[in-house]
Structure 1
Amino acid sequence: MINPEWLPYFAGGGLILLHLIGILHILHALMHVRTSQGTIAWIVSLIAAPWIAIPLYWIAGRKRFSGYVRARRSQDADLRKLSEDMHRRLRHYGVKPNDPFGRAAELLIGLPFTRGNELELLIDGQETFDAIFESISSAQDYILVNFFIVKSDRVGNRFKDALIKKAQEGVRIYFLFDEVGSHKLPRKYLRELKDAGVECHSFGANRFWWSRLQLNFRNHRKIVVADGREAFIGGLNVGDEYLGRDKRFGAWRDTHLRIQGPAVQAIQLAYLEDWNWAADGFLDLHWNGHAQTADQTVAILPTGPADLADSWQLVCAEAANTSTKRLWIASPYFVPDGGVLTALQTAALRGVDVRILIPEKADHLLVWLSAFTFFEETLPYGIKLMRYKRGFLHQKVMLVDDRYGFVGTANLDNRSFRLNFEITALSTDAAFIDEITHMLEIDFEHSKEVKIEDLTERPFWFRLGCRAARIMAPVQ
């Protein structure tokens, strides 16, 4: 029995120990946190309230997804050989970029631009899911699936039934989902898939116990691959809202992409690294991409917190720095960091037509509020912010002059810059760029240009809330 007179000493000793542990975390933050603003915020928190800040630091303070890096290195020889073999096979289709941005992008991602591809722009949910279900139905050997969000609703159950049907036909099905994004997915849904022979793994719960403390890292990729012959990436997850069935959002504006040709191999390589992390194993896949008559050029950009650099942030900054005529970006979230913001400002000052298309409606309140704080740092420089008014805008698309068109999963925010695993297709094909241009021009017609008064005429409490929300930008 502890003497009550000793309790103050135990409490004082515990408090001292907690602060000492907090100091150790401060040293780690000084050495490893990505930004000076983030470092200062963590130091203040760890000093003032270590009992709260220490567990939060383990969840949100890490610079890299260390467990994924270790898993990648443990299979480094196999991955390197597979990558080298893929590069050798793709050499026949390789296209060398002839401008600084293209060369920088290729060096950054380590994957080549290839010709011989066919790209089909899929606009909104019905067109996208029709194409995906058609591809699933025609698969003969295997199907690779990776989604951030999978729901057990009408389209989610139809998706499950389609996979089960193919598994019963003897097709190998590999199903990845993000543990955080799909936290509401019922166990019954997964049990039905597994009972049919589908291999299911969550991206998060895996071999390393400490990875469970790294919840701030998410697999935000959306990938479907059929037999190594065609692949799908883009903005849509699996849920009824992506078909406009959610009463809160109404119409859902999104963009997806079907890819056939050699570039599918690059998508498979990114999927294989994710599968290796989640399932601790390789897959027997087809690696013989066949050229398509469309002969379109594309590169695949898989980016994430296991990269040596903040790859997507660098791509966005370089896109702005090298643009000369126009830079059009559609993203549901607009919370750029200092580097990207400066690049956008200088591009607009050079006379580049910089337009950022964001939603009028909010799905994540803190991120939506944060965007208001950037009005004063964008509009005076000539950057046009456009609010999409016909439903909720969720697409992730970018145009750089008449040279590059992007479609993928990455947003214009800190999560995509540093915390999420993303995948994006980057094409130089003139016809594809024209399609994106026409699509965005229609979107602009259904949008309203933002004015500085949209912020300054708001009440003080609203502007204060926006500033407070921006503080949380590094972990939103």
Structure 2
Amino acid sequence: MTASALTLGIVLLHVLGMFAAMHAVMHTRTPQGAIGWALGLLVLPYVTLLPYLYLGSSRFLGYRVAHRPPPRSTSAAADTTDTTAIDAGCTRFAAISALQRRPFRSGHKLRLLIDGEAAFEVMLAAMAAAEHCLLVQFFIIHDDALGRRLQQILLERAAAGVHVCVLFDGIGSHALPRRYVDTLRAGGVAIHRFATHRWRNRLQLNFRNHRKIVVVDGARAFIGGLNVGDEYLGLKPPLAPWRDTQLELQGPAVADLQQLFADDWQWITGDLPPLLPSPPCDGHASALVVASGPADPQETGSLFFAAAINEARQRVWLSTPYYVPDNAVRAALQLAVLRGVDVRVLIPARPDHRTVFLASTLHAYHAVRAGIRVFRYQPGFLHQKALLIDRDSAAIGSMNLDSRSFRLNFEVAALAVDPVFAADVATMLTEDFRHARAVDEREYRDAPYLRRVAMHVARLFDPLL
């Protein structure tokens, strides 16, 4: 390469870096992020241009064009469904209902499924009993013993004439071999990879579909933190035993989960899956499906947590594998402490992602200094996503307490207002806290200096964690 060609290449990279820096200033979510990207793109475009191409976007484009939400009604509870029987406690979460553009619905049966073995026994049995339609969506599907159990059930149901539709995330399931998918397709299962396949999103690695949804015949639904892999059964050390929770729902909110799956399915295939009416249920819990994602006009995940925490008056108990709160959620937790609320956060003692663990450790230190009680779960890796508010409200779903779940991933949870269900969640978390160690300031202060530096460096990547 001649000197003139090299000079031309360097100049071209700096010109491209200048245009990319302008794009970053216009579109990056936070001023800090805009400054970081702009400086890097202007000074070192040969290093930062490619990462910005893959990681720079903060919005998933095109998804909402085909899935416009219904116009917001004047009442957060307005809907064709009779909502007169919803729990009175739902009214304090009116902002979350308005954010979701859907009302709380009454008449649900809810059941906690604790840890993988119990949860998958129930979920796989429900799938095997499907008679008309089976909708299955996971972030991760592995071709291991559990993955092959799922595969066999899907093939059997398709052979029996059941409409079987399966979604998996292209990044989360990057290791899923093509033969696994081909076998299902050959057996009549409609299976697709959720990917950013439209040209404006094609190069983006930030956006992932982290939802876990199973809907059986429009009547039963399952959401939570479990993916399909042997590690979720606690069979892969050093993270075993794996601590997780799934939620089974029956009642009108199943239709909302079914529609949520349909939105993702239509984005990928252009068609709708079979949609069945949800039969009546004689349960008593009121529930709201909370969906969030990078296509939302607002940062729905962060707003959900902040709004729910701000309504707490007695207790906020949180369980999350990744404790990397943004400013809004951090402020909500600190304000809850100042109100005299019992605020507890349960996080892992073992890391599955080193960078996230380092950042989380620094956030835990600041939380403890602010009066938030933080605990590390000891027996194994904690992957559970649970939120308990006071004595009547709880949420279970796929949402972690980090920026990725707040604004980069497609997520789902169910917020239930029901004293009986909240008591079940409280019992579960009480047992978890019994197997946890309280974090104090010494965890950070006694760490070697270079490890503390690494924590602060890791925190610089909070927007991507």
TM-score range, shorter chain: over 0.9
Structure 1 residue 8 corresponds to structure 2 residue 24: no
CA contact (8 A) 2:314 2:342 kept: yes
Match of residue 382, structure 1, among 356, 359, 371: 371
1:159, 1:88 → 2: CA distance?
36
1:93, 1:300 → 2: CA distance?
18
- The letter for the 2-side match of 1:414 is S
Matches within 5 A, 1:81-96: 89-91=80-82, 95=86
Residue 105 of structure 1 is matched in structure 2 by: 96
Structure 1 residue 340 corresponds to structure 2 residue 335: no
Other structure's SS at 1:111 match: coil
Residue 135 of structure 1 is matched in structure 2 by: 126
Structure 1 residue 247 corresponds to structure 2 residue 237: yes
1:101, 1:55 → 2: CA distance?
45
User: Which deviates the most, 347-356 or 451-460?
Assistant: 347-356
Matches within 5 A, 1:17-96: 17-69=12-64, 73-74=65-66, 76=68, 89-91=80-82, 95=86
Match of residue 212, structure 1, among 190, 202, 209: 202
Residue by residue over 1:168-201, the C-alpha shift from the partner in whole angstroms, topping out at 9 and shown as x without a partner, is: 1111110100000000001111011000011111
Residue 229 of structure 1 is matched in structure 2 by: 219
CA contact (8 A) 1:370 1:467 kept: yes
Residue by residue over 1:96-147, the C-alpha shift from the partner in whole angstroms, topping out at 9 and shown as x without a partner, is: 8656641001000112111111111100011110111111111111100110
Residue 316 of structure 2 is matched in structure 1 by: 327
1:155, 1:96 → 2: CA distance?
39
Structure 1 residue 305 corresponds to structure 2 residue 294: yes
1:98, 1:249 → 2: CA distance?
38
- The letter for the 1-side match of 2:44 is A
Structure 1 unaligned segments of length 5 or more: list them: none
Displacement of 1:429 after TM fit?
Answer: 0.7
Change in CA separation of 1:26 and 1:97 when aligned onto 2, cut-off 3 Å: farther
CA contact (8 A) 2:110 2:285 kept: yes
Structure 1 residue 173 corresponds to structure 2 residue 164: yes
1:215, 1:280 → 2: CA distance?
22
What is the percent sequence identity of the aligned residues?
40
Structure 1 residue 119 corresponds to structure 2 residue 114: no
Match of residue 282, structure 1, among 272, 278, 290: 272
Structure 1 residue 409 corresponds to structure 2 residue 398: yes
Other structure's SS at 2:202 match: helix
Residue 436 of structure 2 is matched in structure 1 by: 447
Displacement of 1:325 after TM fit?
Answer: 1.3
CA contact (8 A) 2:83 2:104 kept: no
Residue by residue over 1:2-21, the C-alpha shift from the partner in whole angstroms, topping out at 9 and shown as x without a partner, is: xx7xx323322222222122
2:238, 2:293 → 1: CA distance?
31
Residue by residue over 1:406-457, the C-alpha shift from the partner in whole angstroms, topping out at 9 and shown as x without a partner, is: 0000000010001000000000011000000000000000000001101110
Residue by residue over 1:43-77, the C-alpha shift from the partner in whole angstroms, topping out at 9 and shown as x without a partner, is: 121122212322211221112101423xxx1465x
Residue by residue over 1:257-315, the C-alpha shift from the partner in whole angstroms, topping out at 9 and shown as x without a partner, is: 111111100001111111111112112311x2223222211110011111110011011
Change in CA separation of 1:101 and 1:305 when aligned onto 2, cut-off 3 Å: farther
Structure 2 unaligned segments of length 5 or more: list them: none
1:353, 1:275 → 2: CA distance?
41
Other structure's SS at 2:239 match: coil
Residue 419 of structure 1 is matched in structure 2 by: 408
Residue 159 of structure 1 is matched in structure 2 by: 150
Other structure's SS at 2:375 match: strand
Other structure's SS at 1:253 match: coil
Change in CA separation of 1:223 and 1:380 when aligned onto 2, cut-off 3 Å: same
CA contact (8 A) 1:117 1:260 kept: yes
Change in CA separation of 1:94 and 1:29 when aligned onto 2, cut-off 3 Å: farther
Change in CA separation of 1:376 and 1:250 when aligned onto 2, cut-off 3 Å: closer
Structure 1 residue 371 corresponds to structure 2 residue 360: yes
**Structure having the larger proportion of residues in helix:** 1
Displacement of 1:318 after TM fit?
Answer: 1.7
Displacement of 1:376 after TM fit?
Answer: 3.7
Displacement of 1:89 after TM fit?
Answer: 4.6
Match of residue 392, structure 1, among 355, 373, 381: 381
2:8, 2:139 → 1: CA distance?
44
Other structure's SS at 1:424 match: strand
- The letter for the 1-side match of 2:212 is K
Q: TM-score, normalised by structure 1?
A: 0.93
Other structure's SS at 1:451 match: coil
